[in-house]
């Protein structure tokens, strides 16, 4: 029973990962791609981990998978944050149909001061 539920959760996790990858290919610029990559891949991977936990229960393997979930939730957004900031500081432009860029406006006004 647990094995069936675990397998189903793992499949759902893989589906979310797949959607994240489609987004990574399809969306226009670095920042939009990071959005898809962070959200879907984080929850997808955590889903896989949780599926492993359900599958194997309170064993050494299951607990390791469970401990990995909060670590992924803490590190993955931080990595996305660092990548987005680095890309912006390096001068990667937003997509041409973007509406507003307060970050660049503020940086330019700081340089003029």
Partner 1 sequence: MRRIVLFIIAFILWLLLTWTLNWQHLLVGVIVAIFVALLFGNMFVEEPRKFFQIKRYFWFLVYIPLFLWECLKANFDVAYRVLHPKMPIKPGIVKVKTGLKSEVARTMLANSITMTPGTLSVDIDGQYLYIHWIYVRATEVEEASRMIVSKFEPLLARIFD
Q: Which residues of 74-86 are buried (b: 16+ CB within 10 A; e: fewer)?
A: eebeeebeebbee
Distances in Å between the Cα of 87 and the Cα atoms of 54, 69, 92, 112 are: 38, 27, 5, 22
| Residues in 11-40 that interact with partner 1 by CB under 8 A | 16, 19-20, 22-23, 26-29, 31-32, 34-36, 38-40
The answer to whether 7 and 51 are in contact (CB under 8 A) is: yes
Per DSSP, 95 falls in state: P
Nearer CB in complex with partner 1: 3/77: 77
**Binds partner 1 by CB under 8 A, chosen from 6, 9, 10, 43:** 43
| Residues in 49-68 that interact with partner 1 by CB under 8 A | 59-60, 63-64, 66-67
User: Can you tell me whether residue 7 is helix, strand or coil?
Assistant: helix
**Binds partner 1 by CB under 8 A, chosen from 74, 91, 111, 112:** 74
In the complex, the residues that contact partner 1 under the rule CB under 8 A are 16, 19-20, 22-23, 26-29, 31-32, 34-36, 38-40, 42-44, 59-60, 63-64, 66-67, 73-74, 77-78, 80-81, 84-85, 88, 94-95, 97-104, 106
């Amino acid at each position: 029973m647990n094995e069936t539920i675990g397998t189903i959760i793992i499949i759902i996790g893989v589906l979310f990962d797949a959607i994240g990858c489609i987004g990574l290919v399809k969306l226009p610029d670095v920042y939009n791609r990071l959005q898809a990559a962070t959200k879907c891949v984080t929850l997808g991977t955590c889903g896989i981990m949780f599926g492993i936990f359900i599958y194997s229960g309170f064993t050494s393997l299951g607990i390791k998978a469970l401990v990995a979930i909060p670590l992924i939730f803490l590190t993955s957004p931080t990595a996305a944050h660092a990548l987005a900031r680095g890309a912006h500081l390096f001068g990667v432009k937003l997509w041409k149909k973007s509406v507003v860029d307060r970050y660049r406006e503020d940086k330019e006004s700081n340089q003029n001061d």
